[in-house]
Amino acid sequence: MGNIFTTILVQPLTNGLILFYKYLGQNLGIAIILFSVFLIFLLRPLTKPYMESMKRIKEMEPQLAKLRKKYGSDKVKISQAQAELYKQNKINPTAGCLPYILQFLVLIALFQVFTAALSSQDIASGKLNNLLYAPLKFSDDQPLNTRFLYLDISKPDAFHIQGIPFGIPGLFLILATVAQFLSVKITSPYMAKEQKIAKKSKGTLDDTQVAMQKSMTYMMPLMTLIFGLSLPSGLALYWLVYSLVNVWQQVSMSGWGGLTPAINLVKSSLIKK
């Protein structure tokens, strides 16, 4: 299984990254940024159905609210009516799950690239060259530039201070965490109506769904921060770029999602001024 994963994902990603590196200034940080954008737009045909589906589900929210009000605490009838509404409007709520599975696999593959391949000091005879196709292999006198601004791409973006047992997150790790929070918040639907309906409902299903979505908003950025303290900073850089592009795509397709109240507040403040 490991060899198959390496052949179909780790090796192509490694070669793609090094291709960008060799032809775009031989700076690994710049290569990661541009290669990340390339990967995101490469997967865009797969993510587009999901975003379109989420946009259409958002448009159905007034009708869904009427169904919840009509059937009250009868979860079975609400579920049946919702499924019928989606069917009539040709909406598939599960559309586009594949690209997010692929994003997770890409993240695992990049982790292997940064930890196993790029951490070797002897590039020419190390694991990196074993993953590269013949035209991209490094010779004995070719170094690999892992420096990007203050980062060493192969090491965590964390500062260690004497007397403090844990690392202090660096700028890119903090930015990646914030971008991840914005990405999750925008991807989640605006919850105000659902929360009001959940409170009025006698059942607990709605409350559980609302609570799970709210917890994910904070859990995923927190995991990004915690794991980022020990993982190569190249992953933080990739996750920063991915999250920012995801925010741009989501806003352009279906609005600000869970950030709608905050955006409206900012707009109101600017109008008053």
pLDDT, tens digit, for every residue of 72-83? 777 788 888 888
Question: What is the residue whose two structure tokens read 């599975």?
Answer: 101
Lowest-confidence region among 78-87, 200-209, 254-263: 200-209
Lowest-confidence region among 17-21, 59-63, 237-241: 59-63
For the range 217-220, what are the long-range contacts, defined as Cβ-Cβ under 8 Å and sequence gap of 24 or more?
217/181, 217/184, 217/185, 217/188, 217/258, 218/181, 220/180, 220/181, 220/184
Lowest-confidence region among 8-12, 55-59, 127-131, 170-174: 55-59
Contact 210, 8 (CB under 8 A): no
Bridging pattern class, strands 158-159 and 151-152: unpaired
- Written as one string, the DSSP assignment of 132-151 is S-GGGPPPTT-----EETTE
Q: How far is CA 98 from CA 46, 101, 175, 193, in A?
A: 7, 5, 27, 29
Residues whose CB falls within 8 Å of the CB of residue 72, separated by 6 or more in sequence, listed in order = 201, 202
pLDDT score at 198: 46
Select from 188, 179, 249, 260 the least CA-distant residue to 217.
188
Give first-to-last CA distance, the chain, whole Å. 60
Select from 22, 5, 29 the least CA-distant residue to 240.
29
Task: Decide if pLDDT at 13 tops 50.
Answer: yes
Of residues 96 and 102, which shows the higher confidence score? 102
Average model confidence (pLDDT) across the chain: 78
Please name every residue paired with 15 in a beta bridge, in sequence order, or none if there are none.
none
Contact 257, 188 (CB under 8 A): yes
Work out the average pLDDT over 193-198: 47
Q: How far apart are CA 246 and CA 258, in angstroms?
A: 14
**35 backbone φψ class: left, alpha, beta (φ>0; ψ -120 to 50):** alpha
pLDDT-based confidence at residue 8 (cuts at 50, 70, 90): confident
Select from 233, 243, 231 the least CA-distant residue to 28.
233
- Note the pLDDT tens digit of each residue in 208-245: 445 555 666 778 788 888 888 888 899 899 889 988 98
Of all residues in the chain, the percent with pLDDT exceeding 70 is 76
pLDDT-based confidence at residue 120 (cuts at 50, 70, 90): low
Range list of β-strands (E), the chain: 147-148, 151-152, 158-159, 168-169
> What tokens appear for 172 in the block?
């890119």
Q: How far is CA 120 from CA 88, 117, 156, in A?
A: 56, 6, 15
Note the pTM of the prediction, 2 decimals: 0.75
Instruction: Give exposure, 18-49, as e/b (b: 16+ Cβ within 10 Å).
Output: bbbbeeeeebbbbbbbbbbeebbeebeebbee
pLDDT score at 203: 43
> What tokens appear for 98 in the block?
């594949």
pLDDT-based confidence at residue 32 (cuts at 50, 70, 90): very high
pLDDT score at 177: 92
